[in-house]
Chains A and B, each alone.
Chain A
Amino acid sequence: MVVNASQDDPEKARRFREAALPYLDDAYTLARYLLRDAADAEDAVQECYLRAYKHFDSYRGPAMKPWLFAILRNVCRAEYARRKTAPTVVEELPEGGDQTPMWNEAPETPEKQLLRRFDGDTVRKLVAALAEPFRETFVLREIQNLSYREIADVAAVPVGTVMSRLARARAMLRSAWLAEQEQVK
């Protein structure tokens, strides 16, 4: 992978390095959660940075991180397609539908019971087990600290969808958390 000659502009490369490389760990983290595979994540991030550099001339900001993530997300979707086994997608509730929301199904916990703290590996496992597109929304919000607006831009969905996905994601994670807690008791 070598950038072609017309791209060979050291000043542009310097600006790109300064703007984009600080987000390398963030991008890699997102790719790990989206693809759930270390080698694939590495390839995806590399491809993402090359594409980002190519399009850096048209980058108008304001925030670099969501911009990179939008590119990375497209790369990852291409990877899903290559795998041909799409990630397990849970049916989303149609907007404005009148069915009972699934987040009501979460089990009640007795009051005052504290949630158990788990080690990093367990938490990673619980998050990674969330179904798409809830995992993506959750990781962008909780691990990457994007605003709803930014998540909407990255995932190319309305803000309302971000809100309902996030509510669903947190409800699913809460159930999984409580189940894990039950198991290790």
Chain B
Amino acid sequence: MTCEEAEVLIHALIDGELDAGHAREVEAHVEGCAHCAALMKEYQEIRQAIAESDVRYKAPLELRRKIEKALPQPQPQAAPTRRSVLRGFAMGSAVSAMAATGLVAIVLRNDDEQRIENEVVSAHLRSLQAGHLIDVVSTDQHTVKPWFNGKLDVSPPVIDLTAQGFTLIGGRLDYVNAREIGAVVYKRRQHVINLFVAQTANTERKTAKISTLQGFNIRRWSDRGLNYWAVSDLGADELTEFGDKFESAMRANKEG
């Protein structure tokens, strides 16, 4: 691979857009080329700097109001709301409730997985901006857990992992894959971990997978009808440790 090619492809590498084969090729070039290695490092630093600075704008309230006003207003006695439908869904007859409402199963196709991981990383980045991280601030799982009740169809499990070295700092409602989902927020040292939890119709257990996107590590797994994404700038080893501790605490909870 020439430097000229590498100088374009390192961007796709940084962005996690290359397939494994090409990624290896670019990585091999960068390892043996000081010029491209230095460039890539700078691009990553700039990207990190942008991610950590406040480059986004908040829509003025007045704009939100104007748009709201232009839309037909909801009527109280309309068709069953998604919430009531999903309540039935959560009570067990998943398949029939979904068939009845045409609700699409949230089963990830492969090409969706990457998109959702992208969204999860976006949500993580959004959360790092000033004042966005936590809706309910508490290190007490018995405060955070009930806070989610009524806000989401299925509340995410909230587990205190302080003794295991991951401090629970609160919870937040977020928006991923066009739906509201819960985010449980932990910290290790100065590193934030967002644990996103979404309901899925697929109850199959999926073992954890670690991936890297835009410099963040994502540990993704599924268990008992919930999809989990833990996102952090922690190293893959520490994020794996977090996931393992979380999963064993869940198992202990279930057994105990």
Known A28-B63, A115-B42: A3·B72 in contact at CB below 8 Å: yes
* Count class of interface residues, chain A: 35 or more
Q: Inside 8 A of A101's CB, which chain B residues have their CB?
A: 4, 7-8
Please state if B71 and A16 are interface contacts (CB–CB under 8 Å): yes
Check if A115 sits within 8 Å of B78, measured CB to CB.
no
Q: Is A91 an interface residue (CB 8 A)?
A: no
Q: Collect the chain A residues with CB atoms within 8 Å of residue B7's CB.
A: 101, 103-104, 167
Question: Can you list, as one digit per residue, whether each of B195-229 has a CB less than 8 Å from chain A (1) or not (0)?
Answer: 00000000000000000001000000000000000
> Which residues does chain A contribute within 8 Å of B39, judged by CB atoms?
106
Question: Given that A109-B38, A115-B42, A148-B12 are contacting pairs, would A24 and B67 also be in contact in the complex, using a CB cutoff of 8 Å?
Answer: yes
Interface residues on B, range: 35 or more
A10 within 8 A of B: yes
Contact call A13/B49, Cβ cutoff below 8 A? no
Task: Say whether A42 contacts B60, CB under 8 Å.
Answer: yes
Q: Is the CB of A63 within 8 A of B115?
A: yes
In the bound complex, what is the Cα–Cα distance between A184 and B115 (angstroms)? Answer: 39
Instruction: Determine if B78 and A28 form an interchain contact, defined as CB atoms under 8 angstroms apart.
Output: no
A174 engages B66 (CB within 8 Å): no
**Do residues A117 and B53 form an inter-chain contact, with CB atoms below 8 A?**
yes
Q: Interface readout for B100-111 with A: 1 if CB under 8 Å, 0 if not?
A: 000000000000
Report the minimum CB–CB distance from A107 to chain B (whole Å).
11
| CB < 8 Å neighbour of A123 from B55, B71, B74, B115 | B55
Are A25 and B58 in contact (CB-based, < 8 A)? yes
> A residues within 8 Å of B by Cβ?
1-3, 7-14, 16-19, 21-22, 24-29, 32, 41-42, 45-46, 49-50, 53, 61-64, 101, 103-104, 106, 108-109, 111, 114-115, 117-120, 123-124, 127, 141-148, 150, 163-164, 166-167, 170, 173-174, 177
A-B contact pairs, 19 of them (CB 8 A): A3-B72, A8-B72, A17-B68, A21-B64, A25-B57, A25-B58, A32-B57, A41-B57, A63-B115, A63-B119, A101-B4, A101-B7, A109-B42, A117-B49, A123-B49, A147-B17, A148-B17, A163-B8, A166-B11
